[in-house]
Amino acid sequence: MDRVLTGVPVPPPGRSAVSRGENIALVDLLDRLLAGGVVITGDITISIADVDLVKISLRAIIASIRPEMDRIRGEEATVTRLDEHRRSVPSRRERPS
């Protein structure tokens, strides 16, 4: 019944990101638990669903890592830039050949 969660290779420990004694990174878990799973509206948690679980918990994550906020923003922008960059490709074709 013990199922081993393997990482190839094992991710570097990132402070609170990797749990004590377990090798599942919290970030990987939160990707799934906050944005995945069946969404059924509980009696008690009706407005939690409205507020958006991801947003609430994101505040927790950001609050816990408040130093270097700028770097986070920079890294977040990386993927956006990758996209922008794909869009920018056609501009080359506009150049005279």
Partner 1 sequence: MTETGTYVYAISRGRPDRMSEAMEGVGGVAGAQVRAVAHAGLTALVSTVGLAEFGEDALKRNLENLDWLESTARAHHAVVDGTAAVAVTLPLRLVTVYRNDERVREVLSERGEEFTEALDRITGRTEWGVKGYADPAAFTSAGAGPGDAGRGDTARGDTGRGDTRHGDTGASSPGTAYLQRRRAQQRTDKDAREEAAACADRIDYELCEIAATSRVHPPQDPQLSGHEGWMILNAAYLVDDERAEDFRAAVTRLSGLRAGLRLELTGPWAPYSFAEEPTGEAAETEAAEEGTEEEEGPWTGS
Query: What is the contact surface with partner 1 in residues (CB under 8 A)?
Result: 1, 3, 5-9, 11-19, 22, 24-40, 42-48, 51, 53, 56-57, 59-61, 63-65, 68, 71-72, 75-76, 78-79, 81-83, 85-86, 88-89, 92, 95-97
Give the Cα separation of 30 and 70 in Å (integer): 22
> In the complex, what is the shortest distance from the CB of residue 4 to partner 1, in angstroms, rounded to a whole number?
9
> In the complex, what is the shortest distance from the CB of residue 9 to partner 1, in angstroms, rounded to a whole number?
7
Alpha carbon of residue 74 to chain centroid:
14
> In the complex, what is the shortest distance from the CB of residue 40 to partner 1, in angstroms, rounded to a whole number?
6
Residue 18's nearest CA partner among 37, 81, 10 is 10
Residues in the chain: 97
Give the Cα separation of 75 and 80 in Å (integer): 9
User: By the 8 A CB rule, do 35 and 54 touch?
Assistant: yes
> In the complex, what is the shortest distance from the CB of residue 20 to partner 1, in angstroms, rounded to a whole number?
10
